Amino acid sequence: MLHNSTAGQRSQKRTRDAITTFRAGGERIVDLARSTQKETTAALETAVERGEVEHLVIAGGDGLVHLAVQHLAISDIPVTLVPTGTGNDFAKAIHEHAGGDSVHADLIMITETDGSRSWAASVAIAGFPAEINARANTMSRRWGSSVYAVATAFEMPRFGRQQVVLSIDDIPIRTDSAMLALGNTKYFGGGMLPCPDALPDDGLLHLTSIQDVGRLGLTPHLLARRGGSAERKEVLRGEGRRIEILSAGHEFWADGEPIGSSPLTFEIVPKALRIKEVLQTGR
């Protein structure tokens, strides 16, 4: 089991509930959580490399999923998701799509100019919502699920657009973007819908850019939690297997975690993560 040992009381209770459920089913639980994220990452990496993981339970939010997929991508190790975090966008999308069934989900492979690679499970995002995400990560846990709304209010005075040069399957595109999202699933930021048509196993990477708008034009997309879903002239959408962000200096976040700045290449890898189930525990 992978979980955050420093999480809040409610999250830890739901983790204990999950442990009770698995033990009642005869499972032996090995706790991979350590006192720091670096130590937890090392424990997971070692267990995977030694072939000691038969089934990984991830009890946490999108950040813990992001950590796990760096070591589970293309491994065929079955995963159970126990959504206990502040944002559980990946688990929510999987549960809505597959219900109680297992699914081989796609993952996003991210390649930097030096050839180094990392993975994302749900949505990579740049622009104003990325700034919101960065602000939310510095805020107190007492805000709970409202943290993104509060972070939006704090960040609104700093709103700005970015000129982005990109390509979708080698087709060049330019966009003056207030929000740029590349999605394997539909949700981001605790329930916003930047890529409403994205499915976790459709073999496609979905792009949404909210372009040519000021802060008032972007606000309805954020407040309605339907960013990019409306058929409006400021919404640019596309889909493909490979999206290259060619212009430099755009800071990206994926699964709520910072992944670095462009140029970056995003590519969908089909059936890269084997998900057994999403286990809903008491709240």
Question: Domain 2-106+272-278's class?
Answer: alpha beta
What is the dihedral sign for C-alpha 35, 151, 187, 164? negative
State yes or no: pLDDT of 229 exceeds 60. Answer: no
* Range with the poorest average pLDDT among 11-20, 40-49, 118-127: 11-20
Mean pLDDT of 129-154: 64
* Range with the poorest average pLDDT among 7-21, 71-85, 128-142, 225-239: 128-142
Q: Which of 205, 203, 179 is nearest to 192 (CA)?
A: 179
**Residue 116 pLDDT:** 96
Measured distance CA(223)–CA(239) in Å, rounded: 25
Say what the pTM is.
0.88
Quickly list DSSP for 197-223.
T--TTSS-EEEEEEES--HHHHHHHHH
Q: pLDDT over 70 for what percent of the chain? A: 81
Q: pLDDT over 90 for what percent of the chain? A: 57
Measured distance CA(223)–CA(77) in Å, rounded: 38
Cβ-based burial of 171 (10 A; exposed 0-12, middle 13-18, buried ≥19): exposed
Q: Which of 84, 83, 78 is nearest to 93 (CA)?
A: 83
CATH label, 123-269, candidates 3.30.160.270, 3.30.420.40, 3.40.718.10, 2.60.200.40 = 2.60.200.40
Domain spans in the chain, listed from the N-terminal domain onward:
2-106+272-278, 123-269
- What are the tens digits of pLDDT across the range 26-79? 888 999 989 888 999 999 999 999 999 999 999 999 999 999 999 999 998 999
